[in-house]
Copies of this chain bind each other. A is one copy, B any other.
Amino acid sequence: MRATVIYGAGDVRVETVPDPKLVEPTDVILRVVRSCICGSDLWPYADMAPSEHGRRIGHEFLGIVEETGADVTTVTKGDLVIAPFVYSDNTCRFCREGLQTSCVHGGFWGAKGVDGGQGEAVRVPQADGTLVKVPHTEDDGLLASLLTLSDVFPTGHHAATKARVTAGQNVTVIGDGAVGLSAVLAAKRLGAERIVLMGRHQARTDLGREFGATDVVAERGEEGIAKVRELTGGDGTHAVLECVGTKPAFEMAVGVVRAGGAVSRVGVPQYEEGPIGPALFRRNITVTGGVAPARHYIPELLPDVLEGKYQPGKVFDRTIGVEEIPGGYRAMADREALKVLIRP
């Protein structure tokens, strides 16, 4: 089969690799129907050290079950399923608490002999715990929205949930990438009244407004903080969803959060230490968030997506085939594309 292998910064190749085979009785072989490129794939694309053998990549995909291991009971051949961006047994003590990203039998796609999602097929470990069956559809828009349940929409939802966004609240979302826009949609879905989106790419912030942003602030740093404070009577907002991951973004989040509020991070921090000293403490600011347990959130989010009530798939603004994946990375790295969908 054809699959994507990353060999280092800027070096993504599509290659012929061995077809996946069942290894454990809990495995499933999936034929990938939709996949995509994640903002987090751009980190190794930016700075991965050159590697002789490379590694598989891609962690968001929908597929059709082709083969099932002997112990698999929840899905059968022909089912359309969502694969969350980590696999998990969904039964361990962490999974039972809704933290499938810390599953004791779980792991990441593209690591330790497990396939990546940016290819034609994938061996899925812990298939019963991992996969979520959905109704068959030929609707491209619906398939795109279902695909977002792998990662980007639950990640935005995680940001909002960990910040305890509730009806009537004011929320700031930092970042107009696909995660930031998903966080806007998630905040809207949870009933946020005012949603300030901090971003400067108009095509993206326009989609942000469509998703529910009531205000857009293009300014950054001190200027951006002053603008959000001005919009909120000087206080800032209870919830700040930090969807970038850089230190300046975190500092901006701390600057716009209301006393007693929460900064919820879903952009992987690109820093080891951050400002959590007396200034934050005096104002009772909570810092929360983390890697989203997408598997936990899919049952909650799926009905709204199936009904078409929310269309998180609108974050995809380009569709390519598997052979075009290297160009897809370039387009996202150059910010020509917001998020690239792959149709094998």
- Within 8 Å by CB of A99, from B162, B259, B271, B287, lies B259
Q: Which residues of B contact A268 (CB under 8 A)?
A: 278, 281
Q: Which residues of B contact A288 (CB under 8 A)?
A: 286-288
Q: A213 interface residue, CB < 8 Å from B?
A: no
- Measured CB to CB, the closest approach of chain B to A105, in angstroms, equals 14
**Which partner residue on chain B sits nearest A250 by CB separation?**
B276
Contact-residue size bin, chain A (C-beta under 8 Å from the other chain): 35 or more
- Within 8 Å by CB of A281, from B269, B281, B293, lies B269
**Which partner residue on chain B sits nearest A275 by CB separation?**
B273
Known: A260-B97, A272-B277, A277-B271. A291 touches B286 (CB 8 A): no
Give CA–CA (A282, B285) in the complex, Å. Answer: 20
Interface residues of A in 214-228 (CB under 8 A from B): none
Q: Which residues of B contact A98 (CB under 8 A)?
A: 260
Residues of A that sit less than 8 Å from B by CB: 93-94, 97-99, 101-102, 162, 235, 259-260, 265, 268-269, 271-278, 280-291, 293
Known: A259-B102, A273-B274. A291 touches B284 (CB 8 A): yes
- Contacts A101-B282, A162-B284, A269-B277 known; 20 new A-B pairs at CB < 8 A: A93-B235, A97-B260, A99-B284, A102-B259, A102-B260, A162-B286, A265-B281, A268-B278, A268-B281, A269-B276, A272-B277, A272-B278, A273-B277, A276-B276, A276-B287, A280-B290, A282-B290, A286-B286, A286-B287, A287-B287
- Within 8 Å by CB of A289, from B102, B235, B277, B284, lies B284
Give CA–CA (A311, B275) in the complex, Å. Answer: 37
Give CA–CA (A162, B281) in the complex, Å. Answer: 12
Give CA–CA (A259, B271) in the complex, Å. Answer: 20
* A278→B273 contact, CB < 8 A: no
Q: Which residues of B contact A290 (CB under 8 A)?
A: 280-285
Give CA–CA (A278, B272) in the complex, Å. Answer: 7
- Measured CB to CB, the closest approach of chain B to A224, in angstroms, equals 21
Q: Which residues of B contact A293 (CB under 8 A)?
A: 284
